[in-house]
Structure 1
Amino acid sequence: MEFALLGPVGVTTGSGELPLGPAKRRSVLAMLLLQPNITVSVEQLITCLWEDEPPAHARTVVQGHVSRLRAALAEGGADAYGIELATRAGAYLLRLPEELIDAHRFNELLALARPEAAPQDAVPLLREALGLWRGPALSGTVAGPQFAAAAHALEERRLAAVEALARAHGALGEHERAAAVLYVEAAANPLREGLVAALMGALYRAGRQSDAINWFHRTRQLLGEELGVDPGERLSRAYEEILRAEAVAAAPSAPQAHPDPRAHDGLRAHGDPQGHGDRQAQAVPQGHGDRQADGVPQAYGDPQGHADPQARADRSDPARAAQGSPPPDSPPPPAAGHAVPRHLPRPPARFLGREAQLADLTRWITATANGESPVAVVTGPAGVGKTACAVQWAHLHAHAFPDGQLFADLGGFGEGDEAAPAAVLREFLLALGTPPGQIPPSAEAASALYRSIVARRKILVVLDNARSSAQVRPLLPGGTPPATAGGAPTRTESGGGAGCATLVTSRSRLDGLVATDCARPVPVQVLATEEGMALLGTVLGPERIADDPDAARELVGLCEGLPLALRAAAAQLTARPRWRLSRLAAALRDERRRLALLSAEDTGIAAALRTSVARLSADDARLLSALATGSGRQVDASAVAALAGADPDRTRDGLDRLAEMHLVDEEATDRYVISALVQLFARGGEPGEGDASGADSAGAAER
């Protein structure tokens, strides 16, 4: 009897495949197989089977699926293989020899292969491992984040096996075979720079220099068009090595200058492979309100446990790339055998300003006593660029955390449910090299294991979009300050004294985290007028701003200095190159259209505010609505209580909660101010379906 996860989920016996029934039943089996010989609670299964609110009879449905799976396994002769599907007090346990699961056999073969040390043995092992795949992992299960995360992890391991097989062929001098192995995967994953870099190297060593260089130019153009970024260090380094080798072959006696791939192909050089040298601007939001992230920040470890972090990452630390090598006082590289996750989102494109916040983060984290685990909370209203600030700092200081960087979107202010700490811990533990079967199911036990693993490492943890302090605490790494003769912890000579460090972003102030974990609040404010104009200029071009500076200033004011709103306005103007800035400014003056115009597809101010307001209690939502109906933006707590006929103390408490969520600002004692954009949204000014083409209707009004 064999169990399949690497393709359609199924069970095969000597007489054929067992009939498993509908997708939910296959999903129950898949979840049990992903955690073999470990109890899986009914609540976990319900969470996996229903993305939305589960039905009232969900537990009964799960029990029915388990009962039918048990019967199907019995008919297939499960007893003869030592397989049992047992019930354990509100949970289920699939007891079986793990070698019956194709994913387990795949990982075993992958671990046995040593492509550099024993390439002749590695080739058949890796071919056998890749031969176990029959299509996308976990096919036939229900759509949901947990199965998507597990399938992504398995796919990452498959691609790692492909690269390992190519390295084994290369070690044997079979460069054409290495290129053939990589070609299909690079074509299917054109933005995976590691694959393309490996393919370029194989093609060059096979004597196909022009093909290798063409792959670089093709990928560079695609990165620019799709993501707005330059090639990362690994891809740039592969290109430079080819150019250098070509130059040496052409003139072996001449001294060779270090080639710059951007100068060679006409790209504008920015001083580093990813183009961060002279460009600064706020991050472009990627459909999450004010958050900038590319895809899931799910964290997965390297199944082969390579010590070289470049073997596990498509794009390395941009700060290190800009300098060419780590600073002389950087911490030592990680110990061999450690899984080193590099899971930060790509650096913010054209990051602008925020020098004070970046410096504050640096002072707090690098001045921490050796071995301690500092926490900083980057806070601010929706759309202000909190994630961009945190990710920028993380990339600039990644070299100070040689054991890796973990990233998780906690979904505290997203459209869906917030991330459960247990799920995030599982992803982190996988990233740190913990076998899936050794990850405890409870959040408490998983948190303890996580702290134990990172206790002696230097890892940066970025927790984005947190809703509450309680959501964050289980994910904080522990500190291990060393004992000294004087009883005080020491500091590192480099100034980077932190062991692990944590950056948290949230629209809430997370006062609880400040109180219990000495977290450092780092507020991010809206952009000043000149900064906002500079941000518009980075997108639209400085000449367009210079053509109508007064309109640019008005646009910044109408957007209230929020980078997300300014980005959305710039997107409207980018799509309409003949429009003058004054035309959009005139349209934004119409409060009925403003929120619609400051939206771009599924992102924008309305979408960001919607997720903030959705987290309010009913009483606080009513209070915000009452504030929005007033004619002015300044609010006096006593006056609001009197007009509403409400208790003054309860009204003040409500206003404090709104201020904590950055939906109002406290100017002075009992005096608050509400922004025009929040006011418009709370009045019911959110763009509806009739306003979906806000820019077009504005244009019609202007014509």
Structure 2
Amino acid sequence: MSDDSASLRVHVLGPLGAWLEERSVDLGPPRQQAVFASLALSEGRRLPAPDLVRDVWGPHPPLGSQGTLRTYLSHLRTAFRSVSTQQAAVAIDAVNGSYVLHVTTPTGRPEMVSDGWQFEHAGARVEGLCNTRSWDAVLHESSQALAHWQGTPLTRVPGPAAAAVRSRLEEQHLVLREHQLEARIRLEQHHDAIPDLTAIAHTHPDRLRAQLLLLEALNACGRLAEALTLYARTTAKFRGDAAQHQLQSLYTRLLARPRVRATSSLDVPTATASARPAASSGTAPVHLPPAVAYFVDRQLDTERLETALTSPLSRTTVTLVAGMAGMGTSTAALNTAHQLKRHFPGGIYYADLRQTPRPNLTLGELAGRLLRALGHPKPSHPGASLRALHEHLAQREALLLLDNADHADWVVPLLPLAEACRLLVAGRTTLPGWTAERHLLNSLTTQAAHNLLTAIVGAHRIEEDPAATAQLISLCAGLPQALQMVAVTLATRPQWSPAALAGRLKGGTGLLRGLRTEHHSLHAILADSELAVSAEHRRTLRILAGIPQPAFTTQEAAASLKMTVARASRHCEALAAACLLHPLAPHRYGMHPLLRLYAATSEKVQVT
């Protein structure tokens, strides 16, 4: 970064220093150094004597400061004369009560250069490289500039002018460090970035960018408990709308990120040997949200999904993964789709049917969005979009993932696809009446629930009180969403013990309303799930929740509902199709304990 060809070199990135033709200049005591710094950094401008006095002593200079200034200027002239030559000399000229530093140099050589100027110019170059996302160049340029930093700029030089330069350069130094560390993160050097980011976040807690970069690096390295703790602390500190938006955007990725590496207990399997051959080209378009990091005890489920989607022996082009609210159907479908990128040369496409309220989004509009993702223009007539989508998919060996497909009437029109194109549907409906490979997700085992809590919170917190941890796992009844809420609550509140949280969640509505994500409680999620059925079937659900035993027959349901067995069977089947009941055997059903708790504590119904 330095320019050794200049006649006069001035160093400000650390103790002040000056060299004329490589000969060191004695700049004298601190206040005399302050006089030189103001002249040297004025970039050739004339400085009136009163301005120089204020630069050195501030707005209230002592008596005699003008005379002292003249003495300092005289000493500086003497110091530069002692190192000057016929070819290179420095003079401090007085013109009408103003002073200017003048450098005489050989023809064609720059007069003076300051490492401070070069440092700021490097910062501007790095900023431009960041805007173009040239991360290799950002890392190279920022590292080169930072190598010239020698500590506090203008060390021990007094006065307001030096303080202003010092503040500006220290801010530039922090910005360059943040650019350098962001480049490391973008280049997947997360581990290397964490120590410096931690230091910046500790010494400069008011720098939001450093906090966000540290959150991202911790999360990418699998240190989710630390990331969530930092997230909670940062959210409490930064209350502005822009900061909250950035934090909430990052929060949505904390539990949905591509893993740096999988572990044996959390591994997602690769496609089975019977799968369709992998695509030879690795350039197939993939339009998917990130895979979910902490995905446990679903190896058998994902193996079955992969086989159904890739095996040439599959009996249908439609594969369905279904389960009650919070059971992890979206997670299973997304993680499976990510493992199949190489099997679908026509691409993998994603649509979330819950992102837009159903009354405002027509099937034609949804088809139009998918067409744009496929790289085709949307037809001018809305009614033609669905037909055009089928025509384009018929020409592709592609996978289409429909997420949160909780209503069959949204899925059915998309089903008649060509044999080469596969449809993966995730949601809370079993699509009765349609031929599909169906995979119903069950609750996590106790060991899997323990693994999930350990992965997010950390083993030291989870194992400090085994009894309390077991109680939390029991309260969640194997529901992945509930367990994740427990884990995030503990991770973002390091002062809470598992026993303290278990005490808070005991008892009906305390559990359902006390467990929540950033935006929704478990109660609200379960309430939304029952909207898939009619008001009459919601009434049935509440009555069935009052049956004391965990499983019941259609005859027992009919007795509680006060209706015929045939009619009670139809009601139970409707609830099972919406994953609000799970069939255990012919004419026998069960209800998840948390859904039973929700239904039993909701508004009371009158049985007539």
TM-score bin, normalised by smaller chain: 0.5 to 0.7
| Greater CA drift, 639-648 or 653-662 | 639-648
Tell whether 2:422 aligns with 1:501.
yes
TM-score (norm 2): 0.57
Alpha-carbon deviations, 1:522-574, whole Å to 9, x = none? 22111000100111111211111211122212211111111111111223323
Task: State which of 399, 408, 411 in structure 2 corresponds to 1:472.
Answer: 411
Tell whether 2:302 aligns with 1:358.
yes
TM-score (norm 1): 0.50
Aligned twin of 2:534: 617
Contact 1:429 1:439 in 2 (8 A): no
| Inter-partner Cα distance in structure 1 for 2:595 and 2:525 | 10
Contact 1:459 1:501 in 2 (8 A): yes
Structure label with greater radius of gyration: 2
- Sort the Cα spacing of 1:457 and 1:316 in 2 relative to 1 into closer, same or farther, 3 A: farther
For residue 297 of structure 2, what is the amino acid of its counterpart? G
Please provide the CA RMSD for this pair: 4.2
Deviation at 1:206, TM superposition (A): 7.2
Deviation at 1:504, TM superposition (A): 0.7
Aligned twin of 2:134: 199
Contact 1:450 1:477 in 2 (8 A): no
Task: State which of 159, 167, 179 in structure 2 corresponds to 1:215.
Answer: 179
5+ residue gaps in structure 2? 1-121, 147-175, 196-216, 229-247, 604-608
| Inter-partner Cα distance in structure 1 for 2:580 and 2:193 | 48
Tell whether 2:393 aligns with 1:393.
no
5+ residue gaps in structure 1? 1-174, 187-194, 221-230, 240-260, 268-272, 285-292, 298-314, 481-498, 687-703
| Inter-partner Cα distance in structure 2 for 1:316 and 1:575 | 21
Aligned twin of 1:458: 397
| Inter-partner Cα distance in structure 2 for 1:280 and 1:360 | 29
| Inter-partner Cα distance in structure 1 for 2:124 and 2:281 | 33
| Inter-partner Cα distance in structure 2 for 1:612 and 1:425 | 25
| Inter-partner Cα distance in structure 1 for 2:282 and 2:448 | 40
Deviation at 1:180, TM superposition (A): 6.6
Contact 2:318 2:422 in 1 (8 A): yes
The sequence identity of aligned pairs, in percent, is 27
Aligned twin of 1:368: 312
Aligned twin of 2:105: none
Alpha-carbon deviations, 1:260-304, whole Å to 9, x = none? x2454458xxxxx999899999xx9xxxxxxxx989x9xxxxxxx
Aligned twin of 2:161: none
Task: State which of 441, 444, 447 in structure 1 corresponds to 2:382.
Answer: 441
Q: Give SS of 1:346's match.
A: coil
Task: State which of 415, 432, 441 in structure 1 corresponds to 2:374.
Answer: 432
| Inter-partner Cα distance in structure 2 for 1:544 and 1:207 | 39
Contact 1:569 1:597 in 2 (8 A): no
Aligned twin of 1:333: 281
- Sort the Cα spacing of 1:274 and 1:432 in 2 relative to 1 into closer, same or farther, 3 A: farther
- Sort the Cα spacing of 1:411 and 1:424 in 2 relative to 1 into closer, same or farther, 3 A: same
Task: State which of 431, 434, 449 in structure 2 corresponds to 1:510.
Answer: 431
Aligned twin of 1:576: 493
- Sort the Cα spacing of 1:217 and 1:474 in 2 relative to 1 into closer, same or farther, 3 A: farther
Equivalent pairs counted in the alignment come to 396
- Sort the Cα spacing of 1:179 and 1:404 in 2 relative to 1 into closer, same or farther, 3 A: farther
Aligned twin of 1:124: none
Aligned twin of 2:567: 650
| Inter-partner Cα distance in structure 2 for 1:415 and 1:449 | 24
Tell whether 2:293 aligns with 1:349.
yes
Alpha-carbon deviations, 1:335-386, whole Å to 9, x = none? 9xxxx6432011102222310011101211221269x982211111110111
Q: Give SS of 1:406's match.
A: strand
Contact 1:565 1:604 in 2 (8 A): no
Alpha-carbon deviations, 1:166-197, whole Å to 9, x = none? xxxxxxxxx999977665xx5xxxxxxxx6xx
| Inter-partner Cα distance in structure 2 for 1:613 and 1:219 | 46
Matches within 5 A, 1:119-134: none
Alpha-carbon deviations, 1:293-351, whole Å to 9, x = none? 989x9xxxxxxxxxxxxxxxxx999999x9xxx99x7413389xxxx643201110222
For residue 218 of structure 1, what is the amino acid of its counterpart? E
Contact 1:274 1:318 in 2 (8 A): no
Alpha-carbon deviations, 1:34-79, whole Å to 9, x = none? xxxxxxxxxxxxxxxxxxxxxxxxxxxxxxxxxxxxxxxxxxxxxx
| Inter-partner Cα distance in structure 1 for 2:352 and 2:191 | 37
- Sort the Cα spacing of 1:278 and 1:365 in 2 relative to 1 into closer, same or farther, 3 A: farther
| Inter-partner Cα distance in structure 1 for 2:506 and 2:136 | 56
| Inter-partner Cα distance in structure 1 for 2:259 and 2:504 | 42
- Sort the Cα spacing of 1:179 and 1:262 in 2 relative to 1 into closer, same or farther, 3 A: closer
For residue 388 of structure 1, what is the amino acid of its counterpart? T
Contact 1:592 1:685 in 2 (8 A): no
Q: Give SS of 1:512's match.
A: coil
Aligned twin of 1:484: none
Aligned twin of 1:60: none
Deviation at 1:521, TM superposition (A): 0.8
| Inter-partner Cα distance in structure 1 for 2:360 and 2:432 | 19
Aligned twin of 1:546: 463
Q: Give SS of 1:666's match.
A: strand
Q: Give SS of 2:568's match.
A: helix
Aligned twin of 2:362: 420
Aligned twin of 1:664: 581
Deviation at 1:453, TM superposition (A): 2.3
Deviation at 1:439, TM superposition (A): 4.9
